[in-house]
Amino acid sequence: MDDDRLITSSMLAEDENCEFSLRPRFLAEYIGQGNVKEHIGVYIHAAKLRGEALDHTLLYGPPGLGKTTLAAIIANEMGGNLRITSGPAITHAGDLAALLSNLAEGDVLFIDEI
């Protein structure tokens, strides 16, 4: 086989870096939804001024609007880590308790599909 192929079925190292860089990490990099961005920006700024974590926030809408991306941006802007789970994965009260007890201060818990 020719090693200089232009197309391959495997992911290359440079592809992995590109894939992670496509998702915005900061609110300023997020495109669209200006009203949502403005409100979240105010919430983040106020929480930082108070020196507190951002309080409970509900992001809702149909799939594909960027709710998970916004949760990741909030976590990044606030200096915490993002923990993601889905509503159907939480079947018992103990499931939620385990998730909450594993959060560090400043972490963001994003529950998708609630």
Report whether 27 contacts 44 (CB < 8 A).
yes
Residue 1 in any domain: the answer is no
Higher pLDDT, 33 or 20: 33
Report the percent of the chain where pLDDT is more than 90.
Answer: 75
Instruction: Name the more confident of 5 and 104.
Output: 104
**Helical spans, DSSP H, in the chain:** 13-21, 34-50, 67-78, 93-101
Residue 94 lies in a domain: yes
CB contact at 8 A, 23 and 72:
yes
Residue 2 forms part of a structural domain: no
3-state class (DSSP) for residue 82: strand
Q: What integer is the mean pLDDT of 12-26?
A: 73
Domain of 30 in residue numbering reads as 13-112
How far apart are alpha carbons 22 and 16 in whole angstroms?
10
Residues 6+ apart with CB under 8 A from 21: none
Distance of alpha carbon 41 from alpha carbon 45, whole angstroms: 6
pLDDT, tens digit, 9 for 90 and up, residues 40-69: 999 999 999 999 999 899 999 999 999 999
What CATH number has the domain bearing residue 80?
Answer: 3.40.50.300
Q: 3-class SS at 110?
A: strand
Residue found by looking up tokens 């959060």 in the block: 103
Counting the structural domains of the chain, the total is 1
Share of the chain above pLDDT 70, in %: 84
pLDDT for 71 equals 97
Q: Is 89 helix (H, G, I), strand (E, B) or coil?
A: helix
